[in-house]
Structure 1
Amino acid sequence: MINQTKALKLVKIYSVICERFEKDLKYTCERFSNNDKQDLTDQEIMTIYLFSVEEEQRFSVKQIHKYACDWLLDWFPRLGSYSAFSNRLNRLSEAFKDLVTDLIAIHYPEDCFPNQSLLDSMPIVTCSGKRSGKVAKDITDKGYCSTKSMYYYGVKLHALAFRRENKIPFPEEIQITSASVNDLTVFKEVWSTKENRYFFGDKIYMNKEFFSEFEKEKNSVMMTPVKAVKGECQEIRNRDKAFNDLYSTAVSRIRQPIESFFNWLIQKTDIQRASKVRSTKGLLVHLFGKIAVAFINLIF
């Protein structure tokens, strides 16, 4: 039995899930069989997952199921076995994905700067680069994380976020790609249609030719720290050093909160470690379920 404060949180989460299910989530996991009526509903499964991760910091599916068996059976008496719970949860990967999209759209803060966006990505690790990745091969591969100086198998989580004054930025869009996909490639394919915008990114987005055309066509500017030009003479480097250092520092300070957003996401959900995932749908639940948990945390 959980205390009254936690019970109230559980009811609130269940209410949010039921509301979203009635509007659109039910179409992502609709069953066309005689077994379409389940003792434990999809809404209840999503509620158990979100509540256990957000309130109790139970990050793996096995931990979530054990916690529900120990403390939530009064609320969900037809919980069932771990195997059945895990299989049912994996069927809801698209529902979690759509839930994240809904929560981003509904809870857009008023203090966002709509013309200023921060960009970055972070690795989601299914296994070390020293081993051969065998999980979710259709969406994962081997990549390199320069920040952590490591090779890994997994995917990348790319975030485009609105800047907020002295606060963690609010995500406008989130993309999942294989680990080897370059951040600049994602920008060109997904976000290069944004108009009248200032983008703040790291040095991976340095491409003068592309962004010169981008500025002319979309009236949008990409700002990154200054990257040293290969083969440039030392005299020119010394002459421009003061300006380049000041400019790079200013850009880095503006885009630093996107790193704080990722750190906050990792702290609240442990999203970066996906070593216990065993399937593509399981990985998608891990990703979008944990992101949904983060937004539930912001709501309440």
Structure 2
Amino acid sequence: MNNLNAIYERILEVLQNISEQQLIACQRRQPKMTDLELVSLSLTSEYLGIDSENDLFRKLPKTLLAKIERSVYNRRRRRLACHIEDIRSRLAFDFNEFEDVFIVDSMPLEVCKLSRSGRSTICRENQYSQPDKGYCAAQSSTYYGYKLHAVCSVRGVSHSIDLSPASVHDINYLKDIKAQLNDCTLIGDKGYLSAKVQLNLFQSCNIKLSTPMRTNQYDHKRQPFVFRKSRKRIETLFSQLCDQFMIRRNYAKSFEGFKTRILSKITALTVVQYINRFIFERNINNIKISIV
């Protein structure tokens, strides 16, 4: 787990197998560390739980330290956010190509404590991406920040993800799902309960939305046990992101930096799942395990 260089080489090998280009960003001079190598370094730091840039550059071996300038590391990583998402999508496609059952859920991502929200300037550089206050029913608390929406397979591999301000209701994310899924069953919790949305998803994309009914609803029927059991898979996925990848720990000051950090952590998790499945042929969800 502590061999940073060996883990970096393993992740770089995986990315080279799925990416046709070594250099994606347009630059006047070709840097010593290609964009793909920089993405691999970013994912390695997330896998090892190195959240601090100071800590990362203290632990880098001399061979890597000579190839990257610290002053441009974060700027280049933010510019490569779209490429990181492309890598995550390609890795997830190998898992989810023939899947027909998916799970949707959301989790709160706090930017700062509620008492500091009035004077906080974090992620407030643009009007459209500003955080706000929202309520988390699972934790029975109000928080200030964003909400992570995710769709994953029953095996626990993320299919699609999105960020929204905390005040946006979960059911609004289902409007975007119509462009990402079709001909499948989608399992959600009571936050996605809506007969109108359920009918719209089925008619437009043949998506069968299954949510538990409220006990006081007319003609109440309990959700099938297999769906209730499968829905816990995404909750386990969120727990893994919070535990090993510390997704709720935020050091970013801008929304672009915040978005890139969240995306890098989810991509790092998907890379580990890919290595477990296609290199070592073991349980993909054994995350706290050596990949070299």
Q: TM-score range by the shorter chain?
A: 0.7 to 0.9
In 2, the alpha carbon distance for the partners of 1:150 and 1:63 equals: 33
The answer to whether the 8 A contact 1:158-1:176 is kept is yes
Q: 2: distance between equivalents of 1:196 and 1:155?
A: 30
1:73 aligns with 2:65: no
Aligned pair 1:156/2:143, yes or no? Answer: no
Residues 134-283 of structure 1 mapped to structure 2, 5 A cutoff: 134-137=121-124, 138=126, 139-142=129-132, 143-164=134-155, 169-191=156-178, 194-229=181-216, 244=221, 246-247=222-223, 251-274=227-250, 276-283=251-258
Give the CA RMSD over aligned residues: 2.8
3-state SS in 1 of match to 2:100 = strand
2:34 to 20, 41, 47: 41
CA distance 1:89–1:192, shift in 2 (3 Å): closer
| Deviation for aligned residue 1:118 | 0.9
Where does residue 284 of structure 2 map in the other structure?
none
Cα distance change of structure 1 residues 126 and 298 upon mapping to structure 2, 3 Å threshold? same
Contact 2:89 2:159 in 1 (8 A): no
Is it true that 1:286 corresponds to 2:261 in the alignment?
yes
Q: Which residue of 1 aligns with 2:280?
A: none
Contact kept in structure 1, 2:202 and 2:208, CA below 8 Å: yes
The aligned counterpart of 2:279 is none
Q: Distance in 2 between matches of 1:50 and 1:220?
A: 33
> Using the alignment, how far apart are the partners of 2:230 and 2:84 within structure 1?
31
Counterpart contact for 2:178–2:205, Cα < 8 Å: no
Structure-2 change in CA distance of 1:194 and 1:103 (3 Å): closer
Q: Which has the higher helix share?
A: 1
Q: Tell me the alpha carbon deviations over residues 24-54 of structure 1, each in whole angstroms, 9 at most, x when there is no partner.
A: x744x222x3xx2223433332222222221
Inter-partner Cα distance in structure 2 for 1:192 and 1:97: 17
* Alignment counterpart, residue 91 of structure 2, candidates 89, 100, 103: 103
Q: How does the TM-score come out when normalised to structure 1?
A: 0.77
Which deviates more from structure 2 when the two are superposed, residues 287-296 or residues 134-143?
134-143
Structure 1 Cα separation of the partners of residues 16 and 197 of structure 2: 45
Could you tell me whether the CA contact under 8 Å between 1:117 and 1:162 is conserved in 2? yes
Deviation at 1:159, TM superposition (A): 1.3
Matched, 1:115 2:100: yes
Letter in 1 for 2:26: E
Kept in 2: contact 1:121–1:158 (CA 8 A):
yes
Aligned length: 268
Deviation at 1:64, TM superposition (A): 2.0
Q: Is the 8 A contact 1:135 1:279 kept in 2?
A: yes
What's the CA shift string for 1:205-245, capped at 9, x where partnerless? Answer: 1112332344355443222112144xx7xxx8xxx7xx74x
| Correspondence for 1:58 | 50
Distance in 1 (alpha carbons) for counterparts of 2:207 and 2:177: 15
Taking every aligned residue pair, what percent have the same amino acid on both sides? Answer: 23
Unaligned segments of structure 2, at least 5 residues: 276-292
Whole-angstrom distance in 2 between the partners of 1:186 and 1:176? 10
TM-score normalised per structure 2: 0.79
Higher Rg of the two aligned structures: 1
Q: What's the offset of the Cα at 1:7?
A: 4.1
Check conservation: 1:193, 1:218, Cα contact below 8 A: no
**Deviation by residue 1:113-165 (Cα, 9 ceiling, x = unmatched):** x222111011222112222242223324222222122322322221112224x
- C-alpha spacing 1:192/1:251, structure 2 compared with 1 (3 Å): farther
Moved more, 95-104 or 254-263: 95-104
Q: Is the 8 A contact 1:271 1:290 kept in 2?
A: yes
